[in-house]
């Protein structure tokens, strides 16, 4: 291994992701166990990934920007396996596990920026925002519990965005290119 990202906290709760330059886990490899804002200083291409523990979001641009891809424990022998469009992986973020005693999820969705307009509560998965709330666009949200994924299309398809606890006054704050949210899923894989 050429690089090890060091995290903090209980090792049993830590994630571990290994990036490989070549398909099928070949070539040089780079191991991380925490967030990394810029992977390009270590490698210029990534054609396969192994998530040995935990869950990660990977991004095709530095600073947690660009296309986002959710990866849970498993093997991804080429970038098509994580629905990537090319071999560019430029940053990664460890998604902290949810402790068994804290399995609550709570989010408030708003139809306008800065928490304006109609407000909707969400505590479970939503395969179709249109069917449940009769709208396609979410302009802001406030997450009090849990980590979530927004998907561009219904039934958990299309571009995805990691939504962690906090306030998002406008869709650009979660990396969205528009306010279109077709479905929403809780991150419960651990």
> Where is the domain boundary, 42, 63, 95?
95
**Residues 123 and 58 occupy one common structural domain:** no
- Quick one: pLDDT band at residue 69, thresholds 50, 70, 90? very high
**Residues 111 and 61 occupy one common structural domain:** no
* CA pair distance 129, 184, nearest whole angstrom: 7
Q: Which residues pair with 108 in a beta bridge?
A: 121, 142
Find, among 54, 56, 172, the residue nearest to 46 by Cα. Answer: 56
**Residues 30 and 49 occupy one common structural domain:** yes
pTM beyond cutoff 0.85: yes
Q: Which residues pair with 157 in a beta bridge?
A: 153
**Residues 33 and 82 occupy one common structural domain:** yes
Find, among 152, 123, 119, 144, the residue nearest to 133 by Cα. Answer: 119
* CA pair distance 56, 184, nearest whole angstrom: 17
| pLDDT of 1 above 50 | no
User: Listing from the earlier edge strand, what are the strands of the sheet with 4-5?
Assistant: 4-5, 26-32, 16-22, 48-53, 74-76
Find, among 150, 149, 29, 147, the residue nearest to 89 by Cα. Answer: 29
Mean pLDDT of 134-146: 95
Mean pLDDT of 63-67: 94
* CA pair distance 151, 14, nearest whole angstrom: 26
**Residues 126 and 180 occupy one common structural domain:** yes
**Residues 8 and 59 occupy one common structural domain:** yes
Q: Is residue 101 part of a domain?
A: no
- Quick one: pLDDT band at residue 98, thresholds 50, 70, 90? confident
Helix (DSSP H) and strand (DSSP E) numbers for the chain: 1, 15
Domain count, the chain: 2
Find, among 125, 126, 181, the residue nearest to 158 by Cα. Answer: 181
**Residues 76 and 111 occupy one common structural domain:** no
% the chain with pLDDT above 70: 91
* CA pair distance 100, 162, nearest whole angstrom: 21
| pLDDT of 169 above 50 | yes
Mean pLDDT of 152-178: 96
- Domain span holding position 81: 4-95
**Residues 76 and 115 occupy one common structural domain:** no
* CA pair distance 168, 180, nearest whole angstrom: 15
Measure Cα distances from 58 to 38, 165, 171 in Å.
Answer: 11, 18, 19
**Residues 18 and 90 occupy one common structural domain:** yes
Find, among 101, 100, 71, 99, the residue nearest to 83 by Cα. Answer: 71
| pLDDT of 13 above 90 | no
**Residues 73 and 115 occupy one common structural domain:** no
Q: What's 82's domain CATH number? A: 2.60.20.10
- Quick one: pLDDT band at residue 101, thresholds 50, 70, 90? low
């Amino acid at each position: 291994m050429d690089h090890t990202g060091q995290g903090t906290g209980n090792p049993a709760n830590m994630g571990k992701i290994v990036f490989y330059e070549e398909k099928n886990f070949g070539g040089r490899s780079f191991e991380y166990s925490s967030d990394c804002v810029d992977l390009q200083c270590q490698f210029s291409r990534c054609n396969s990934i192994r998530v040995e523990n935990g869950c990660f979001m990977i991004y095709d641009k530095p600073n947690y920007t660009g296309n986002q891809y959710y990866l849970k424990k498993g093997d991804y022998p080429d970038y098509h396996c994580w629905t990537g469009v090319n071999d560019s992986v430029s940053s990664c973020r460890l998604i902290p596990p949810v402790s068994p005693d804290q399995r609550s999820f709570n989010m408030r969705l708003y139809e306008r920026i800065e928490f304006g307009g109609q407000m909707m509560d969400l505590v479970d998965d939503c395969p179709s925002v249109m069917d449940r709330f009769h709208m396609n666009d979410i302009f802001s949200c406030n997450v009090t519990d849990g980590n979530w994924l927004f998907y561009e299309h219904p039934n958990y398809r299309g571009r995805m965005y990691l939504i962690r606890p906090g306030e998002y006054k406008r869709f650009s704050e979660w990396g969205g290119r528009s306010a279109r949210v077709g479905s929403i899923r809780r991150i419960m894989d651990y």
